[in-house]
Structure 1
Amino acid sequence: MWNYELGKNDDIRDNEYLEKFVPDCEAHDTSRKCTSLHPDLYKIVRICLDEEQNPWFYKGTSCLIPKGVPSKDSDLSPITCLSNLYKLTTKCVAHVMQLDVAMRKLLADHQLGTVTQVQDAKEQAMLNLAVCKEHGNQLYITWHDIKKALDSVNYEYLIKCIEGLTCHRGSAVKSVTNTEVCAHKAVLLEGTQGYKYLEVVEDMTSAPIRESYDKVRAEILVRTERLAKTALNDKNFIKAVTEHAISLTNYYIEVFKLELKLSTSELLEGRS
């Protein structure tokens, strides 16, 4: 808070004050420092997890943040605010799950985007690249968008653990649609309905629909046929197909389970 009695400059914004006096990457979780509250907080958390679910514990307020001048639903970003007790409880549950996952070695060390206490995948990849260059290793390191890479992971084990804690499963639709005003906007995916992830339409089970697979496959064929009409020799043709056609699958590596079954000889034979 601003202390006017100490003669702080009213013209200085709070952000400027914080940027100057508060160091980066420092946790400011007051509940962590108030150790005298820990026994009581522990009892409350145990009650929320072990006993019957309390509706008030999972109740929050959703705010619609407009992007510019909103003219349609997608121009509003939903932000849901929950109680500090709920945040503290979920943080404790997440920490316990992280310890259990680490102990059972359920995540590979190279899965940078999901390993705890590490930087983002991009920063990790850049760091690895810098180390390789420093030691003269001619390695090509790449990374792809893993914002939702875990969609393809089987959550059955983790769900069983969470169900054992009697945690609330949440709404089947976005939290913003829990309000009466937006209730008519709620849409539960059924049948072949789907949503886009990495520009690929997926169904309600996060599985890519057939049309999306055919679209990517067709684009690979178009690129390959275009390269086949060039004057490239066989060696450069194979290299071009790999880099400019087949490489298209790299972007969808976590979405499609693609496997190239065409040999080099078959590819060259098809060109002739």
Structure 2
Amino acid sequence: MSMNDIRMALRQGGEAFLDLLFPEDGLCVHCHGESATEQGLCPACAQHLFPSAPPKCERCGRPLKNEGPLCGACQKSLPPFAGAAAPFLYRGLAGEMVREMKYHEKKRYANFLGDAMARCLQALEGPRPDVLVPVPLHRSRMRERGYNQAQWLAARVSLHCGAPVLPNALTRVRETDKQTRLETRAREKNVHDAFAVRKSRAVRGKCVWLIDDVLTTGATARNCARALLAGGAAQVWVLTATTVAWRPETGRLEDWEEA
């Protein structure tokens, strides 16, 4: 880990800790016009959230419509990760928060979403994480953007569950096109073999929870999980802020906006 990596991790962890101790102003994190509930939103804004509710696919965690135990996508191709979860669907306010956080550096949304992810993790019956690994950006994208929203989310989840964040355990070994421009098959091809474990000792024998902002086709999560398992991880689970649903009437994943 370079000194720049250490400084970034300390800065992000320190900011998240201060945010947890001293919330901004007690107002709604979205509209700032009304007093927030204990979870950060006013009642009016909270109506625009769509929780990821049961029944869900036992493998990818996507909501189902009276179908199971696996969604059609997992029946076609079982992911290498052991399970996945997300507190919200990628639509409405949660989808807007993800986009604002990801493209416009709105860290307050990372705090809100990370808190929700932590509550989601605490409610699961699955194994507790030994380590949290955010999905990495390629170094060129990181230089361009200056931040990785998955690291923000991981730092916030870590405050609640106590598992350490390993921001450099996984690396993106080649630059890829933005997934937003691609259809399902092209997304898988785009990120195939794009990830590798940098130091296998960090994940060997560990239950790793991969952290990201949204699970759409699952191409990124699958390829990250393959790399982590190849690097010696005992299990890989996926925790995202949002997910899309499986639609049995169309036999495909729910349409998503740019994610």
Shorter-chain TM-score above 0.5: no
Question: Which entry has the higher C-alpha Rg, 1 or 2?
Answer: 1
TM-score (norm 1): 0.22
Greater relative contact order structure (CA < 8 Å, 6+ sep): 2
Higher helix proportion: 1
Higher strand proportion: 2
TM-score (norm 2): 0.23
